[in-house]
Structure 1
Amino acid sequence: MASAETDKPNRPDKQDRPYHHGDLRHAILTAALDVITADGPAGLSLRDLARRAGVSHAAPAHHFRDRTGLLTAIAAEGFALLAAALNDASDLKDAGVRYVRFAREHPAHFQVMFAPGLLRADDLELTTARALATDALRTSVSAVHAEDFGIDSRLAGVAAWSLAHGFATLLLSHNLDGPVGDRDPEEVFSTLATTLFRTS
């Protein structure tokens, strides 16, 4: 008769299994950001992320449900990071510089945040984080003398956001490599913002 010891399945203890290595949600998010940075959102696959994390192909779905859920979580994290970056801005120009810096430091988040077709629009975490970022940007816009441009403050905000977002997008896609050259992109943006907007 086989002993109780030999009857046990030959498998590792729970603590040795890959999917018990710690914060799996964070591991999947980190791997996803690496993929997006290299290949864009189109290159994202939950099965591939599971392989990278050393877990079963179904494990990511436990945290994110599906690919849309994962991208929505990335966008929500991005808006929260952006809100934190903008919160202490001294004026609109500083907010714009911080916006460009955020895009440079978090390119994968930036790609996903403004692609509504990839996201679950009614996700509470996403809508809350987006509202925080919007409020932080609106506070900076309040310093603009919109009357100097013959437009209301809302449109002034759109103009300011368009400048920062457009500059950041062109920068990340390497369309500004020539015009910016070896100069600090944030300093270049600051010069543009000073030229186009007067702040108090």
Structure 2
Amino acid sequence: MTTRRTYHHGDLRQAVLGAALDVIATDGPSALSLRDLARRAGVSHAAPAHHFKDRAGLLTAVAAEGFGLLAEALGEAADLRDAGVRYVRFATEHPAHFQVMFRPDLHRPDDPELLAAKERAGDRLREGVAGVAGVAGSSGSSGGTADSRLAGVAAWSLAHGFATLLLSHNLVGPVGDRDPEEVFRTLAGLLFATDD
């Protein structure tokens, strides 16, 4: 007799998301299969489809959850440099989310929940840019200046690029045994003067 784990209503979605994050972290997003995730969660192969419809729906949920977590992390930042450090920390603590979030070929980029989470994360980044000396009007709206938008792109590029290189083990030599967050803090200090 086979025993299946049972989940209370509402737990299945999180169980499948958790299993998906495990697979992505170890084998990448291309290894995902709803059938395999159902097996890992101990439910029928059709059960995950009730929550996600298909693989793209599941990856959309992963990306939306990731942007929500990123928005929370950035919301606690003291300044732009700290926002960058928190971005790098987010990437190292949530590598599976990070792999999916910036890959619109994997998910539904027009999903309302995903768009709202991306907007919250973008707002937090723009708030950090507002603290940079000499950059005014850093709102992401059409009222923001071109300089503030470009400062936001520069800050995001630095944090995202560093995190991506770090996760792909391309910074082993330059970072060595040093704390990656401290290395990033130094890099950001070289490029962005903040009111510390």
Which TM-score applies when normalising by structure 2?
A: 0.89
Output one character per residue of 1:42-84: Cα deviation in whole Å (capped at 9) or x when no partner.
0111011011111111110000000000000000000000000
Following the alignment from structure 2 to structure 1, what is the Cα–Cα distance between the partners of residues 168 and 7? 38
Structure 1 residue 176 displacement after superposition: 0.4
Report what 2:155 is aligned to.
Answer: 160
Structure 1 residue 145 displacement after superposition: 3.2
The one of 83, 86, 91 equivalent to 2:71 is 83
When the two chains are superposed, the root-mean-square deviation of aligned CA atoms in Å is 1.7
Output one character per residue of 1:145-177: Cα deviation in whole Å (capped at 9) or x when no partner.
356xxx711101101100000000000000001
Following the alignment from structure 1 to structure 2, what is the Cα–Cα distance between the partners of residues 80 and 65? 21
Query: Which structure's CA Rg is the greater one?
Result: 1
Q: Which consecutive unaligned segments of at least 5 residues does structure 1 have?
A: 1-10
Q: Read off the aligned partner of 1:98 and give its amino acid letter.
A: R
Match runs of 1:5-84 below 5 Å: 18-20=5-7, 23-84=11-72
The one of 99, 107, 111 equivalent to 1:119 is 107
Following the alignment from structure 1 to structure 2, what is the Cα–Cα distance between the partners of residues 49 and 111? 18
Contact 1:146 1:153 in 2 (8 A): no
Q: Which consecutive unaligned segments of at least 5 residues does structure 2 have?
A: 136-145
Following the alignment from structure 1 to structure 2, what is the Cα–Cα distance between the partners of residues 102 and 92? 15
The one of 184, 188, 191 equivalent to 1:193 is 188
1:183 paired to 2:183 = no
Q: Name the SS for the 1:118 alignment partner.
A: coil
Structure 1 residue 21 displacement after superposition: 5.2
Alignment CA distance shift 1:93-1:20 (3 Å): closer
Identity of aligned residues (%): 73
Report what 2:86 is aligned to.
Answer: 98
Runs of 4+ in 1 over 6 A off after TM superposition: none
